[in-house]
Amino acid sequence: MKYKKLIVSLGMAGALFASCMLTYAVDVVQIPATELESVYNQSVASNTLEGWPKGPQIYSEAGIVMDADTGAILYAKNIDNPHYPASITKMLTGLVALENNELTDIVTITPDDYNFLKSGDNHIGLKNDEQITMEDALHGTLLASGNEVAHAVASNTEGGYDNFIKLMNEKAKELGCQNSNFVNSHGLHDDEHYTSARDMALIASACFQNEDFMRITGTKEYTIPTTNVTDETRAIAQHHKMMFSWKSQYYEYCVGGKTGYTDKALNTLVTMASKDGMNLVAVVLRTHGSGNTYKDTRTMLDYAFENFSKIPVTEDMVEVRGLESLEVDAHVTLSAGITFEQLNCVVENPTESGDKRGKLIYTYEGHPVGEVDFIISDEFYKEIHGIEDEKPVKKKKESSSILSIIVTVVLIAIIVVAVLFLFLVIYVAYRRKQLRKKRRARRRQAYQEYLRKMKEED
């Protein structure tokens, strides 16, 4: 038994070493210098804005930095071009799973969850009929990037795997994604599986608002306990290198994120960072060159943190008809050279019945710098939906109701009096009839007495 465990341990160590070597081989793949230069020199759209601080050139074909709280776009390069996301897909998988499951739910593994894997595809070694909690499964998905566990998360959600993919696309659309289509929960290549830097930033911003997601993505090491099938624990580690202080890629403000790679997607990376009350999301897609994924991300985030700050938005700064209140900590994100007065504001009033939450969308030369939620007053809500004030109608109904009660009481009283009068009439007639009978009886009796006396006298 000891030798068997030793062999298993050596096998796992060998697999880990092979995985590291494969990762290293991916990192050092040689890209022609002319291609690197071409990608590096591509236009950065945000640099064309007048008065906007000039952002860095990057080796990624698409890159974005977004304020996770307001949706302000601080850096933009080809942000709407569709690209293959690879394993950063698993961020949307995790978000949808958290919104449709409990962390204590049981995930049961079937052959469908691993039969699609090919040599070299990442996995955590789950077996047929093995059961783990959804909490364990999401750590395996978001930290270790296990493809079979990402599939199992989807297939064990109510409705099954196909319905889960439908939920992923519905969630993406709900978040405002316009250049995405997801056909699996793990991110392995499919020509019909794609997204854009802007869309991934919107998804990551939603993840930033989910406490369970942030707790999981912020975990560096996690142990999946023994299961009904495996009598050994599984130790898994975070793949995002910016999370570890002993790595050269370490970034002190990084609080989570997700790595990705396929031959066709190249390196992809989503990074979530917080500094001085600002929560930013950085996304790079299709990064060229050794180690440039993290270099590009660091450069973009440093640029954003150094050049932008939160500008509070208060009610006295807003001209909105029917304004009741603004959201707590309402703000836009601007650079030092741009003032609030230079912004354009589009007001989106609520349109659905029962909804009083509107949105203020602020832009600078058409570029998003923040969104602020607000609540409209009851009076304006009624005006929007053509609802008339019901108070006078209510009073009229109350007056009508009181009058109706009075009339009813009077009618009942009249009926009662009439009935009593009728009984009285009947009673008086009855009494008179009885008195007449008594008088006739007395007269007959007197007459009989008279006849008796006359008879006695004779």
User: DSSP string spanning 273-287?
Assistant: EEETTEEEEEEEEEE
Per-residue pLDDT band at 323 (split at 50, 70, 90): confident
Residue 384 pLDDT exceeds 90:
no
The answer to whether residue 326 scores a pLDDT higher than 60 is: yes
Above 90 in pLDDT, residue 307? yes
pLDDT at 455: 74
Distance (Å, whole) CA 340 – CA 362:
9
DSSP 327: P
* pLDDT at position 432: 80
Residue 276: count other Cβ atoms within 10 Å of its Cβ. 8
> Phi then psi for 157, rounded to 5 degrees?
-80, 145
Q: What angle do CA 47, 52, 58 make, to 5 degrees?
A: 35
The DSSP H or E segment spanning 217 is helix 211-217
Q: Are 183 and 194 in contact (CB under 8 A)?
A: no
Structure confidence at residue 427 (pLDDT): 82
What average pLDDT does the structure give for the chain? Answer: 88
- Provide the 8-state DSSP code for 194: B
Q: Can you name the residues that pair with 276 across neighbouring β-strands? A: none
Tens of pLDDT, residue by residue over 53-80, are 999 999 999 999 999 999 999 999 999 9
Long-range pairs for 292-297: beta carbons < 8 A, 24 or more residues apart: 292/58, 292/59, 292/60, 292/267, 293/60, 293/259, 293/267, 293/268, 293/269, 294/241, 294/242, 294/249, 294/251, 294/269, 295/59, 296/58, 296/59, 296/60, 296/63, 297/242, 297/251, 297/269, 297/271
Instruction: Give residue for tokens 């006295």.
Output: 316
Give the DSSP letter string of 127-188: -TT-EEEHHHHHHHHHTS--HHHHHHHHHTSTTHHHHHHHHHHHHHHHTT--S-B---SS--
Task: State which H helix or E strand residue 220 sits in.
Answer: none
Mean of the pLDDT values across residues 212-239? Answer: 97
Mean local confidence (pLDDT), 138-159: 98
| pLDDT tens figures, 79-117 | 999 999 999 999 999 999 999 999 999 999 999 999 999
What is the mean pLDDT of the segment spanning 391-398?
52
Three-class secondary structure of residue 414 per DSSP: helix
User: Is pLDDT above 90 for 388?
Assistant: no
What is the rounded distance in angstroms from the CA atom of residue 8 to the CA atom of residue 30?
A: 35
Would you say the pTM of this structure is higher than 0.85? no
Task: Report, as an integer, the average pLDDT of 270-297.
Answer: 96
Min mean pLDDT across 74-88, 209-223, 344-358 is at 344-358
pLDDT of residue 129: 97
Residue 257 predicted with pLDDT over 60:
yes
